[in-house]
Structure 1
Amino acid sequence: MPAITCTTIPLPATSPPSSPTDRQTPRIKSLIVDDNGITAKVLCKILSKEFGYSTTCAVSGKEALVKLSQEVFDVIFMDIDMPELSGIETTMAIHSKGSVVLEANRTIPIIAYTTNPCDSKYFEAGMNGWVGKPANQITVRKELERVCISMSS
Structure 2
Amino acid sequence: MTSPNYQSLAKRRILLAEDVEMNQQLARHMMQSWGIEVDIAANGKVALGLVEQNGYDLVLMDIHMPEMDGMEATRHIRLLSDPSRATVPIVALTANALKGDRERYLEAGMNDYLSKPFNEADLFRIISKNLTNMTTTETAMQTDLLVNGHATVNNVLEQDKLYNLKMIQDIAGGDESFVRRMLQLFLDTMPLTLQDLEKETGQQNWQQVGKLAHKLKSTVDSMNIVQLKEVIRQIEQQGKKAENIDQLPIMVNRVTEVMLATAAQVKKDYNL
Q: Which of residues 29, 33, 41 is equivalent to 1:45?
A: 29
Gaps of 5+ in 2: 133-159, 163-272
Query: CA separation in 1, counterparts of 2:56 and 2:80?
Result: 18
Alpha-carbon contact 1:116-1:132 (below 8 Å) kept: yes
Q: Who is 2:89 aligned against?
A: 109
Give the TM-score, by structure 1 length: 0.75
1:131 is paired with a residue whose SS is strand
Which structure has the greater CA radius of gyration? 2
Give the TM-score, by structure 2 length: 0.44
Query: CA separation in 1, counterparts of 2:44 and 2:35?
Result: 25
Q: Who is 2:43 aligned against?
A: 60
Q: Who is 1:16 aligned against?
A: 7
Q: Which of residues 49, 59, 66 is equivalent to 1:76?
A: 59
Cα offset, 1:141, TM superposition? 1.9
Cα offset, 1:133, TM superposition? 1.6
For residues 92-142 of structure 1, give each alpha carbon's deviation from its aligned partner in whole angstroms, at most 9, with x where no partner exists.
Answer: 0000146xxx43111111001121215120111111111122221111122
Q: Choose between structure 1 and 2 for higher RCO, CA contacts under 8 A separated by at least 6 residues.
A: 1
Higher-helix-fraction structure: 2
RMSD over aligned Cα, in angstroms? 2.5
Query: CA separation in 2, counterparts of 1:41 and 1:132?
Result: 17
Query: CA separation in 2, counterparts of 1:152 and 1:68?
Result: 25
Alpha-carbon contact 1:30-1:56 (below 8 Å) kept: yes
Query: CA separation in 1, counterparts of 2:6 and 2:80?
Result: 38
Identity of aligned pairs, percent?
28
Q: How many residues align?
A: 131
Matches within 5 A, 1:134-145: 134-145=117-128
Query: CA separation in 1, counterparts of 2:27 and 2:87?
Result: 22
User: Aligned pair in 2 of structure 1 residues 70, 141: CA closer, same or farther (>3 Å)?
Assistant: same
State the one-letter code of the partner of 2:14.
S
Ranges of 4+ aligned residues in structure 1 off by more than 4 Å? none
Query: CA separation in 2, counterparts of 1:64 and 1:147?
Result: 19
Q: Does residue 87 in structure 1 map to residue 70 in structure 2?
A: yes
State the one-letter code of the partner of 2:38.
T
